[in-house]
Amino acid sequence: MEQDNSSSLTEPEEVFTPVPLQRGASGATEWLGIGWDLVKERFFMWVGAVIIYFLVNLIISSILGLIPLIGPIISPFISAVLVAGLMMIAHQQYETGQLNLDNLFSGFQNKRYLSIMGAYGISVLIILAGFILALLISGSLLMEVAQAALNDAPTYYIQGLLADNLTPITFSSIIIIIFSLISTASYWFAPALILVNDYKAIPAVKASFMAVKNNLFGGFLFFVLLSIIIGLSIIPFGLGLFITIPLSFTAMYGSYRHIFYQKNMGNMTNNHTDNNDNNGDGGNKVSLNKTAESNIGKLVS
């Protein structure tokens, strides 16, 4: 991790790669490790950032809740922009060792919120498509069950309906789960890709899905470990949540960092050629501009 003068610099430098890397099962612990390092270094700042995030969310949702129908629909999209801001906070800390709470609202700058909301909207549409498909399979059964409940039908009758139609219910449930997983995969890395690497909504969704597909087992293990950690943190009166909630956000950034960044081979070549020059062997130096490298994703997409 690149830090300020009080911390050691990462050698060689890491650069963005538009092609998501395959990290394997060990990636899960690596992502949690990156997240823990970030929280540990600026613990109180991260607690403050998460508290501000929840307070702003509460205020916005309360205000939008006064608007019938539209308000509750818009509120999650605003929250998605704020989550992207947390990714930017983590990115700045990883890159510079500094933590600026103003970055929580960075998603609202330069109209990037349009791309973030667009990516979030795509993920919502994916889940919606899953529910529609499930309704096409078992919608008539659900209507029959609902009608029986409204008519105060005996419990054994409703249970009999469900038991006799267990196959379509199970199939519908599997469809909803699959589409929910696809939705999560499509959006997981999108906020960071949009804010940090200037991706647009659709390319960000594609890259996010590809990254998850390339790291299925690591991602599954990551969610299992994170769920266990959060569950254990609730036991001592929930005080551990002051650690695990920030950790869940920083570990999310850790997964993005580990999958979309790799060692700068240009720096390693520079060091090698510098040594050759010092030995009088000459050679051409290879330089790699990090900003230009980070924009590859935008050019490719």
Of 287, 134, 105, 115, residue with least CA distance to 191: 115
Helix count (H) and strand count (E) of the chain? 13, 2
**Tens digits of residue pLDDT in 194-217:** 999 999 999 999 999 999 999 999
Please give the Cα distance from 293 to 194 (Å, whole number).
15
Whether pLDDT at 4 is above 50: no
For residues 73 and 236, the answer to whether their CB atoms sit within 8 Å is no
Residue 94 pLDDT: 95
Per residue in 103-143, pLDDT (tens digit) is: 999 999 888 999 999 999 999 999 999 999 988 888 777 77
Cα–Cα dist 232/3, whole Å: 31
Report the pLDDT value the prediction gives residue 266, as an integer from 0 to 100: 57
- Pick from 270, 275, 293: which is nearest to 11 by CA? 270
pTM of the shown model: 0.78
Mean pLDDT of all residues in 91-112? 92
Distance (Å, whole) CA 249 – CA 255: 10
pLDDT value at residue 278: 43
The DSSP H or E segment spanning 200 is: none
Rg (CA), the chain: 23
Q: What is the pLDDT of residues 243-297, one digit of tens each?
A: 999 999 999 999 999 999 998 765 544 544 444 444 444 333 333 333 333 444 4
Tokens standing for residue 216: 């299925």
C-alpha to C-alpha distance for 176 and 217, rounded to whole angstroms = 21
123 or 9, higher pLDDT: 123
Sequence-ordered alpha helix ranges (H) in 14-110: 27-41, 43-64, 70-96
pLDDT band per the 50, 70, 90 thresholds, residue 70: confident
pLDDT for 140-199, tens place per residue? 777 777 777 777 777 777 777 777 777 888 888 899 999 999 999 999 999 999 999 999
8 falls in which pLDDT band (50, 70, 90)?
very low
Question: pLDDT value at position 204?
Answer: 97
